[in-house]
Amino acid sequence: MKTSRIIFSAIAAVLTAGFVSCSDMLKTESKVVVYDDDLTLDKATDTVYSVMGIVQKMQVIADRVVLLNEVRGDLVEVTDHATEDLRDIYNFNETTKNNRFNQIVDYYAVINNCNFFLSKVDTAYVRNHKNVFKREYVAVLAYRAWTYLQLATAYGRVRFFTKPILSGDEANTNFPYLDVKEIADSLKSELMLYVDEKVPMYGSLGGGENGDGTSSESHASQKLFIPIKLIVADLCLWSGDYKNAALYYHDYLSPAATASNKYPTTTSSVMWANTDFAERMKDSYAVQFGTNYDNTVITYIPMESQKYNGVTSELEDVFCSTKDNDYYYQLTRSNALTNLSAKQNFCYHDVNPNTHIAKYIYVDKDLQSNVLHKGDLRLSSILTEKTVTDQETARYNSSRQTLNKINKEKICLYRKDLVYLRLAEAMNRAGLPEMAFAVLKYGLCQWNIEDYISEEEQTFAKDNGMGDLLTWSTSYFMPAEIDYQVMSNQVDFTNNSYYNTIGIHTRGSGDAAVDTTYVLPQSTDKKDLIRKVEEMIVDEMALETCFEGYRFSDLYRVGMHRGEDNDMYCDDEYVAVHIAARDATSPDKNAEGFDMTLYNKLMRNSSGFDINPAFFLK
C-alpha cells in the first residue's frame, strides 16, 4: 500500500514535542499520575473523586483542542493582535516547547490517569445484583479514547500505551508509535462490548456564588460523560469501518428500545422574518448556544468560573471583544468561511394557510449590504460585529466582535448536529450517498426515506447489513416540510411537536427541502457521487460547526477517506488546498487569494521522520 507523506516537514514542525523521549513526556514529577501505586478504587467516593480528577486533567487541554483544530483549519484567520504562539500555529512555523499550545504532556496526563483508574477500579464489586463501578469504568474508557483521538490528530504518530506509568523506568519502555487509524482500531473492540452502558449520574454539580458577586454555572453530571455509542462510532469512522460507524450514530439518535431517548434534529433555524428581507430575522438558531444550550449539547468539559478555583477557559478572550483584552480579539472569520456562507442560496418557503399553496422565493443577494446577510444566515446569527465610536472608549479597540458559540464554563465536545453530520459522513462512505444527502436537505425520518431514497439504495442498505438505517421511529421523527394534501388527514397541524425533523442545511439557508438549486449531484459513477456528496458534507460542517473546534480533524479525516480511494493513507492535496485557501474565494489552487506559499510549505516532503500522514505539529 502506498503511504503518502503528508505536508510534514511543515505540519510536523508546528509542535516540537512530538519526538521527545517517552520519559520526558511522562515525567512522574509532572503530576501525570496523581494517585499512589498501592491505591485500590473500591469505594463509591473513591471512584467519583477519581473520575472528577480526570475531568480536571481534561480541563487543561479543552481550549487547546478547540484552538488547534480551528487555527490549523481554513475557517478562521488571525488578527493583528493574535499572540505569537497562535500566529506560529496558524502559519505552520516551527515552534518549541515554550509555545503554550505545544504541551504534549498534558494529553498524556489525561491518558495515564485513565490508565491508572482502569487498572485499579474494582470492576468485580457487585451490590444489589449490580456492578457498582461499571459505569465509571466505561466512562473512563471513553475519556481515554477521546483524548487519544485528539492527541493523534494534533501530533500524528504518538506513543500508545494502555497500562499506567508509575515510574521513570516504566516511562522509558519502548512503547509503539501509532497513528490515529491504528489507535482507533486498537481501542474500539473493547468499547464495543459496552455500547449499551449508560453514563454515570451524580446529579447537579457546581453552581452557587463565587464570592465576588458573580455566580458559577451548574452542571448536569450526565453532560460530563461521552455516550459510549458516540465514541465507538467515532473510532469506527476514523478506522474506516463506515458501516458500523453509521449504525452506532443511528442507534444513538434513534435507538430501537425505549422511546424516551430519541434525538430528532428539531426545527431550530435562522430565517428572514418576512419576504421584504429588510435586515429583520427570526432566530431560533442562536439560542442553541445560549438559553437552550443544555438541551442541545450532549457532552462538554466543565470549566471553572474563576481562576482561583482552577482551570478557566480563555476562548472568550481569543474570539470575543472583552474588557479583559481591551476588546482586541485574536481570531475572526476567514474569507473562505465568509465566501462559503455568502454563496449559499436562501430559499424562502411561503405557504398560504388557507389554500396550502406554496411559493418559493430565492433571496437576491445583491439586496444585502451586509456580507453576513448574504446566503446562509448562521454566521450572522452567531457572530456579531460592530464599530464603537464613543470617545470614552477611544483607548480600546473600536472594532468589536462577539461569538455566541463560546460558553466559557462549558467547552462542548458533542452536540446533536455534529452527530448528524458524522452520520452523513459515515453513511456516504458506507455506500449510501442518497441517505447522506438527505441528512443535509430533508432530515432523516421514515417518510423522507420512503420519498427521497431510491429503491436501489434502500436495497443496497438491506443487503449489506445496514437495514436499521432505514428505520426511524415514526412517533418521534416527523418531517417539517410535508405535502399538505397527502398528510392533512393524518397529522394534527396544530401540534407543532410533529414537525421536528429538518435538513441541517435548513438551519441557515431557508427551506432546503424545497430548494431546487440544492440537489443531489448528478453522476453516473457511484464513487464519484460519494466524493461529490462528501464535498457538500464538508461545506455543511463548515457552516454548522465553525469555531467549535472540529475543523482540522474533519479535513484530515476526509482526506484519509479520499486517500483510501487511491490506495494511500491520506489525500495530502485535498487537505493542503483547503488550508491554503483560507483567504481564497474557493478551495482551488487557481482561486483568487489562494496562498501558494503556504501550500508549498505544507506539501514539501517530510525531512527524515517515518510518519504516517496525520498532520501533526512536531
216 belongs to a structural domain: no
218 belongs to a structural domain: no
Which carries the bigger pLDDT value, residue 306 or residue 546?
546
Per-residue b/e over 354-375, b at no fewer than 16 CB within 10 Å?
eeeeeeeeebebeebeebbbbb
- Residue 151's region, left for phi above 0, alpha for psi from -120 to 50, else beta, is alpha
Which residue among 354, 386, 410 closes a domain? 410
What lies within 8 Å, CB to CB, of 503 at 6+ separation is: 438, 439, 440, 441, 442, 443, 512, 513
Across all residues in the chain, what is the average pLDDT?
Answer: 85
2 belongs to a structural domain: no
Rounded Cα distance between 583 and 589, Å, is 11
Phi, psi of 351 (to 5 degrees): -115, 125
Q: For residue 151, give the H/E element and its range.
A: helix 134-155
Max avg pLDDT among 212-221, 253-262, 586-595: 586-595
Q: Both 200 and 151 in a single domain? A: yes
Over residues 254-270, mean pLDDT: 82
Q: Both 418 and 405 in a single domain? A: no
How large is the C-alpha radius of gyration of the chain? 24
Which carries the bigger pLDDT value, residue 103 or residue 44?
103
Total tally of structural domains belonging to the chain? 3
Find the range with the poorest average confidence among 190-194, 229-233, 349-353.
349-353
pLDDT tens figures, 416-433: 999 999 999 999 999 999
Which residue among 181, 204, 227 closes a domain? 204
- pLDDT value for 17: 37
466 belongs to a structural domain: yes
Q: Both 286 and 343 in a single domain? A: yes
Beta-bridged to residue 618, according to DSSP, are: none
Beta-bridged to residue 410, according to DSSP, are: 302
3-class SS of residue 555: helix
Q: Both 197 and 316 in a single domain? A: no
Instruction: Say if CB 181 and CB 560 are below 8 A apart.
Output: yes
Residue 179 maps to which CATH number?
A: 1.25.40
Q: Both 139 and 51 in a single domain? A: yes
Of the pLDDT bands very low, low, confident and very high (cuts 50, 70, 90), residue 34 is: very low
Per-residue b/e over 400-410, b at no fewer than 16 CB within 10 Å?
bbbbbbbbbbb
Q: Both 140 and 278 in a single domain? A: no
State in Å, rounded, how far the first CA of the chain is from the last one: 25
- pLDDT value for 561: 97
Q: Both 340 and 259 in a single domain? A: no
92 belongs to a structural domain: yes
Q: Both 255 and 189 in a single domain? A: no
pLDDT tens figures, 198-234: 998 888 887 777 766 677 788 999 999 999 999 999 9
Q: Both 381 and 471 in a single domain? A: no
Closest CA to 71 of 560, 601, 555: 555
Look at residue 495 and tell me whether its pLDDT is greater than 70. no
- pLDDT value for 612: 31
Of the pLDDT bands very low, low, confident and very high (cuts 50, 70, 90), residue 128 is: low
231 belongs to a structural domain: no
327 belongs to a structural domain: yes
Q: For residue 452, give the H/E element and its range.
A: helix 446-452
- pLDDT value for 587: 95
Instruction: Say if CB 411 and CB 391 are below 8 A apart.
Output: no
- pLDDT value for 30: 41
Closest CA to 332 of 407, 401, 404: 401
What lies within 8 Å, CB to CB, of 1 at 6+ separation is: 567, 568, 569
Instruction: Say if CB 554 and CB 537 are below 8 A apart.
Output: no
Look at residue 390 and tell me whether its pLDDT is greater than 80. no
Q: For residue 576, give the H/E element and its range.
A: helix 572-580
3-class SS of residue 179: coil
Over residues 46-50, mean pLDDT: 76
Q: Both 250 and 363 in a single domain? A: no
Rounded Cα distance between 140 and 145, Å, is 9
- pLDDT value for 258: 57
Over residues 48-64, mean pLDDT: 92
The set of cell numbers assigned to 405 is 458559540
Q: Both 449 and 515 in a single domain? A: yes
Which residue among 382, 410, 438 closes a domain? 410
Over residues 567-580, mean pLDDT: 94
Q: Both 476 and 381 in a single domain? A: no
Rounded Cα distance between 589 and 409, Å, is 40
What lies within 8 Å, CB to CB, of 203 at 6+ separation is: 221
209 belongs to a structural domain: no
Domain encompassing residue 348: 270-290+299-410
Look at residue 142 and tell me whether its pLDDT is greater than 90. yes
Look at residue 296 and tell me whether its pLDDT is greater than 80. yes
